Amino acid sequence: MSRITGNEDDGPASIKDVALLAGVSPGTVSNVLNHPSRVTAARREAVEAAIRRLGYVRHESARHLRAGHSSTIGLMLLDAWHPGFIDVARGVEDTTSERGWTVLVSNSARDPARERTYLRLFAEQRLAGLIVVPHDLSTEDIRRIQAGGAPVVVVDRAETAEDIMSVAVDDVAGGELAARHLIDLGHRHLAFVGDEASAEPVRDRLVGVRKAIAEAPVDVRLDILPAELTVEAGRARGEELAALPAHRRPTAVTSAVDLLAFGVLQSLLQHGIRVPAEVSLVGYDDIPFARQLSIPLTTVRRPHYQMGTTAAQMLTGVLAGDAPEQRHVIFQPEFVLRDSTDSPAAGAIERSGK
């Protein structure tokens, strides 16, 4: 079959060529390319076979200009090197690819300037919609993005406005789970490692820790040790804890993220401080490495992959013209007990009770 050339839409072979060969309408071909779930399996197979035979390649730039947007979704991560956010991205990509969308990923690296730059570039590319793990975005910022025609799903921050979609975790409950576990074990001197100014979920975790302490039937002391959310910062805080005299050292540490707990654990062990016999340690996230440490880490699990799949389902559903069943989804965290926590030694209980 000869090919039509000079077609402004799609290059050497056009949608009309594909439709003629497949025996379907051009609209059906368009749906196979953009919304395959709307087409029966038989017609989809016929169109895909025609595409392969003709060597059809669509002209994305021209198509974007005609439609006003692309078939690409933007995903902006807060920290692309954090294993939890990698799982969010996997969930988004697995879900969108099944539905015929592609994903363009960026990393703000917790930098407000980079966050603004990537959002501007996404808008210039006329992406169909955005999934954003925000650092410095306000609700009004999100509304301005949506005013340009691209729906937005906010991940890892609970929103309440009816015109915004969000997927988050109840991190206040997660902080409570960690602290109550330690208090129930008998610990009366805790430390929280993490910078509450770094992210809203970290603030929520500290709120949960304080709530558990306030509701405890016994007196519990809490030390706050601000730290960036990295292994290196955890090691530095672990060095400080190891340098304290035993009678002044907290008997238990709860960390804002697992990465901090990894660093604290390294420093304590290097200084001969036994975990959990002398210091119990709780992480947060349950990233894959947590169970593989020399002392498997007790932690609070967040469903990162499910957060990504849920956000992608919400966004692609709206782009397909469906109203979301829920505009705001909040997952509950899960406590995971491993080997890094235990009851404090009798002497430690006596010291912390003075």
Q: Render pLDDT for 303-328 as a digit per residue (tens, 0 to 9).
A: 999 999 999 999 999 998 988 889 99
Per-residue confidence (pLDDT) for residue 99, from 0 to 100: 87
Per-residue confidence (pLDDT) for residue 148, from 0 to 100: 77
Per-residue confidence (pLDDT) for residue 354, from 0 to 100: 38
Q: Taking residues 95-108, what's their average pLDDT?
A: 92
Q: Which residues contact 336 (CB under 8 A, 6 or more apart)?
A: 286, 290, 298, 299, 300, 301
Per-residue confidence (pLDDT) for residue 3, from 0 to 100: 33
Mean pLDDT lowest among 146-150, 232-236, 295-299: 146-150
Task: Give the domain ranges of the chain.
Answer: 15-60, 67-168+304-331, 171-302+336-352
Per residue in 8-41, pLDDT (tens digit) is 344 457 888 889 999 999 889 888 887 788 889 9
Matching CATH topology for 15-60 and 67-168+304-331? no
pLDDT score of 342 more than 50 = yes
Per-residue confidence (pLDDT) for residue 52, from 0 to 100: 84
Q: Domain spanning 15-60: which superfamily?
A: lambda repressor-like DNA-binding domains (1.10.260.40)
Angle CA(77)–CA(78)–CA(82) in degrees, nearest 5? 90
Q: Distance between CA 344 and CA 214 in Å, rounded?
A: 20
Of the candidates 153, 154, 178, the residue with the CA atom closest to the CA atom of residue 333: 178
Mean pLDDT taken over the chain: 88
Strands 334-336 and 299-301: antiparallel
Helix residue ranges per DSSP H, the chain = 15-22, 26-34, 41-54, 60-67, 83-98, 112-124, 139-147, 171-185, 200-215, 231-243, 258-270, 304-319, 346-352
pLDDT score of 57 more than 60 = yes
Q: Distance between CA 296 and CA 174 in Å, rounded?
A: 19
Q: Distance between CA 110 and CA 95 in Å, rounded?
A: 25
Q: Does domain 67-168+304-331 have CATH number 3.40.50.720?
A: no
Q: Does domain 171-302+336-352 have CATH number 3.30.70.420?
A: no
146-155, 230-239, 339-348: which is most confident: 230-239
The label of the residue with tokens 């519990």 reads 220
The label of the residue with tokens 């530095």 reads 236
